[in-house]
A and B are shown apart, each in its own frame.
Chain A
Amino acid sequence: MGRGKSRTVTTTPSLPHFRKKLGEGARRVGVGRGLDRRATFWMLYLPPLFWLGAFFLIPLLLMFAFSFRPDMSGDFFRLWQPSFNQYSKLFATGSYWRLLGVSTWMAFAISIFSVVLSYPIAYFLAFHGRQRAGFYLVLLLVPFWTSYLLRVMAWKIMLGTEGVINSFLTYMNIIQEPLTALLYNRNAVVLTLIYVWIPFATLPILAALQRIDVSLFEAAADLGARPIHQFLRITLPLSLPGVFAAFFMVFIPTVGEYVTPLLVGGSRGSMYGNIIQDFFTKAANWPFGSAMSMVMLFGTLVLVAFATRLINLRDLLE
């Protein structure tokens, strides 16, 4: 209790007051340099807007338009009679829907595991890293310095029949024949993707943990809360925005993942993204590939919207 009293309490101006000051300052700067706020706004936002519009939105709209093309014949950029041909074929093929379900379930499992495994790392960096926190963070980011493909290929060396795990087990006489179940199946895809995502998932959780005011822990301790209660009542709730950000950061790209299944998934490890890729690169059937992409995009958006509503993300973030 005494420590609390002896603590120097600095007051910060309330937010509306602060905004008012900032606004006045900005207006003064604007008047002085002949650049008003609107001009500044457009100057800052136009380049990214143009970039996103030209290289994300227009291709996305083109893909949407392509999904209503009856087939590949004729000039690519001619106007065509919209057709539901691709969607009707897609709706009639149960195996694609099933695979979309499997991919979504895999993405869910991978996201949960990635977040659960990332949390202790982020916690350690935020509260126990001390002066070495920066160094540990660099260590965490080291894998990003190597190619994604190389990192996934490294798992082949780990899991292959002549790989590290099999060689060790054979050397120890634990097994006589190498285990073939480690590689070229869905488990290998899940294992590899969790590894790939852990550093990504750590960053938003770390950012959320670093925002927590440490005086809250001191106050909780003063009030007699044990460490587990501090964690459950303070740390975890306040870090949830980071946890959910990490979850969605992993979940959304994983639903459409195709590189990792291609390398370690084998004959039975294909995900929905692999089939989309096949229609673009192996079948020259862009209209069907586009329809599959649109269904995945729509499905993912609906799931994310449902999830954010369910957990009331806006309240959490505020």
Chain B
Amino acid sequence: MNPKRPLLYSLTILTLLLSACGTAPATEVPPDQLTGTLSVLDWAGYDQEDFWVDFKNTYPNVTVNFEIGISDADIYAKMAAGNQADVFHPYSGWLQFYVDEGLVEEIDTSKLANWDKVSDFHKKLGQINGKQYFIPWDIGFSSILYRTDKIPEGVDSWAALTDPKYAGHISMWDDGPGAVTVSSYIHGYDETAITAEQLATIKEEWVAQRDLNLFYWAGEPELQEGMRSGDVWAAYAWQGSYALLLGEGLPVAYANPKEGRNSWVGFYGIRKGTENLDLALKFLDAKLAEATGNNVVNLFYYGHSNQDVMKSVTDPMLKEAFGLNDPDILEKTNFTPNLTAEQRDAWTAMWAEVKAAP
């Protein structure tokens, strides 16, 4: 045996060990030491820390900048125009175009620790062409909110929004696709395949409704004020307004129309090509965490996609608002389908013509 060999072996092993150390994956930065800046395009109110509290607590040194969008159309147009937000917040119906125009990144859900807490039903709503482009987050109903002192007989149909009995005391949401949805329920149209003739009928219906309608509401505070003052008796509304007004002691009820309630879901998506992909995924994961979800339920009265959060709701008023007492509520609910670009243009133009009609 060559006496030099043990030395040679030792040097070789040492070299291998050192080189192995050099190529080993870097240790992940502890969350509280992670730095960076994340840009989020969101709706007014959701920039409050309550709604991203888990992220803030876990990554205290990451700066989150919020930009506010005023509608789904506004958020989509901003993203299409090249907005550099890393994360954005669209709602039901407004998902398809982001995928068609290559504006959204497919989400690697294996990196979301809270993903298992989301129901398969809601996960599926964030999929386009079989891929998970969006994570579901806030959930709610649309139905008819009414004053029980003004309408003691109650409301059992979406047709209440076009009922001459309530002339001058109705308030419809200022939204074309929303109006098409309501008419589809009333007439039993297939919302995903509205024909030109059906759209013409819908337009006539809403032009006639204009004389019964006090004002179209764009923001919920406007609607809530109208209900409080007694000017508005029946309105298209989200359940957050119902829970808020009920909590204030106002005599209001939230209809379970025979055509079924409407349900919508808010999603988060990640901009395609973002340099902050890792941080954006961490943000989305924290959005699904419990403290954030509890705040959505307790402060905004919306549902949350984390099932543990919803199971922990005990307040009877919230249980009623979310329909948690009704085991059949989902069967009786219509989920907003995704719009195509053609539907979006035709339905919004129809609504503009309603507002411009003589």
Beta-carbon contact of B82 and A283 below 8 Å = no
The answer for the CA separation of A212 and B288 in the assembled complex, in Å, is 71
What residue in chain A is nearest B74 (Cβ atoms)? A281
Residue of A nearest to B102 (CB): A75
Contact B210 A282 (CB under 8 A): no
Instruction: Give the interface segment out of A52-60, A224-232, A260-268.
Output: A260-268
Known: A161-B229, A161-B231. A270 touches B355 (CB 8 A): yes
Q: Are the C-beta atoms of B80 and A284 separated by less than 8 Å?
A: yes
**Cβ of B101 under 8 Å from chain A:** yes
Query: What sequence of 0s and 1s flags, for each residue 340-358 of chain B, a beta carbon within 8 Å of any chain A beta carbon?
Result: 0100110011011101111
A-B contact pairs, 18 of them (CB 8 A): A71-B341, A72-B80, A76-B80, A96-B353, A266-B213, A266-B215, A268-B210, A278-B351, A281-B71, A281-B73, A282-B73, A282-B174, A282-B175, A282-B351, A283-B349, A284-B72, A284-B74, A286-B77
Indicate if B194 sits at the interface (CB-CB under 8 A). Answer: no
Q: Known contacts A72-B341, A270-B355, A288-B349: does B176 contact A282 (CB below 8 Å)? A: yes
- A162-B230 in contact given A99-B356, A284-B73 (Cβ < 8 Å): yes
A93 touches B353 (CB 8 A): yes
Within A44-81, which residues are at the interface with B (CB < 8 Å)?
A: 71-74, 76-77
Is B344 a contact of A73 with CB atoms below 8 Å?
no
A256 within 8 A of B: no
Once the chains are docked, how many angstroms separate the CA of A162 from the CA of B226? 11
Determine if B76 is an interface residue (Cβ-Cβ < 8 Å).
yes
Q: Known contacts A162-B230, A180-B168, A266-B215; is A279 also within 8 Å of B77 by CB?
A: no
Contacts of B216 on A, CB cut-off 8 Å? 267
Complex Cα gap A200–B352 (Å) = 31
Contact present for B352 and A98 (CB under 8 Å): no
Contact of A71 among B175, B218, B345, B349 (CB under 8 A): B345
Question: How far, in whole Å, are A140 and B101 apart by their CA atoms in the complex?
Answer: 52
* Chain A residues within 8 Å of B211, by CB: 267-268
Instruction: Give CA–CA (A98, B357) in the complex, Å.
Output: 8
Give Cα A282 to B350, complex, Å.
12
A14 within 8 A of B: no
Q: Across the two chains, which residue of chain B brings its CB closest to A102?
A: B358
In the assembled complex, A170 has its CB within 8 A of some CB on chain B: no
Q: Give the complex CA separation of A266 and B209 in angstroms.
A: 13
Give the chain B neighbours of A99 by CB distance below 8 A.
356
* CB-CB under 8 A for A160 and B231, given A93-B353, A98-B356, A279-B352: yes
Q: Does A280 contact B (CB under 8 A)?
A: yes
Within 8 A of A (CB), among B39-71: 70-71
Interface status of A184 (Cβ within 8 A of chain B)? yes
B255 within 8 A of partner (CB)? no
Pairwise interchain contact A160-B229, C-beta atoms closer than 8 A: yes
Chain A hits for B70, CB < 8 A: 281
Give chain B nearest CB distance to A239 CB in angstroms. Answer: 38
A161 to B74 CA separation, bound complex (whole angstroms): 33
- A312 at the binding interface (Cβ < 8 Å): no
State whether the Cβ of B81 lies closer than 8 Å to any Cβ in chain A: yes
Contact with A along B246-280 (1 / 0, CB 8 A): 00000000000000000000000000000000000
In the complex, B313 has a CB within 8 A of chain A: no
Once bound together, how far apart are the Cα atoms of A281 and B74, in whole Å? 5
Q: A residues within 8 A CB of B71? A: 281-282
- Size category of the binding interface on chain A: 35 or more
Q: Point out the residues of chain A lying under 8 angstroms from B82, CB to CB.
A: 76-77
Are B341 and A73 in contact (CB-based, < 8 A)?
yes
Residues of A within 8 A of B358 (CB): 95, 98
Cα A180 to Cα B358 with chains together (Å): 21
Chain B 144-177 residues near chain A, CB threshold 8 A: 168, 174-176
**Chain B nearest CB: distance from A7 CB in Å?**
62
Mask, A274-298, CB within 8 Å of B = 1, is 1100111111111010000000000
Residues of A within 8 A of B344 (CB): 283-284
User: B118: CB under 8 A from chain A?
Assistant: no
Contact A275 B356 (CB under 8 A): yes
Instruction: Name A95's contact: one of B101, B176, B214, B357 (CB within 8 Å).
Output: B357
Q: Could you tell me if B353 and A95 are in contact, using CB atoms closer than 8 angstroms?
A: yes
Nearest chain A CB to B69's CB is how many angstroms away?
A: 9
The interface residues of chain A lying within 8 Å CB-to-CB of B357 are: 95
Complex contacts, B175 vs chain A, CB 8 Å: 282
Instruction: Indicate if the CB atoms of B230 and A161 lie closer than 8 Å.
Output: yes
Measured between beta carbons, the chain B residues less than 8 angstroms from A74 are 101
Interface 0/1 of A145-163, CB less than 8 Å to B: 0000000000000001110
Q: What would 10 more interface pairs be, CB under 8 Å, given A93-B356, A96-B352, A160-B231?
A: A76-B81, A76-B82, A98-B358, A99-B356, A161-B231, A267-B355, A279-B352, A281-B73, A283-B345, A288-B349
Q: How far is the CA of A266 from the CA of B355 in the complex (A)?
A: 10
Chain B nearest Cβ from A293, distance in angstroms: 14
Smallest CB separation, A314 vs chain B (Å): 37
Q: Is the CB of A267 within 8 A of B176?
A: no
Task: Contacts A278-B355, A280-B77, A281-B74 given; indicate if A267 touches B348 (C-beta within 8 A).
Answer: no
Which residues of B have CB within 8 Å of A288?
Answer: 349
Query: Does B348 lie within 8 Å of A279, measured CB to CB?
Result: yes
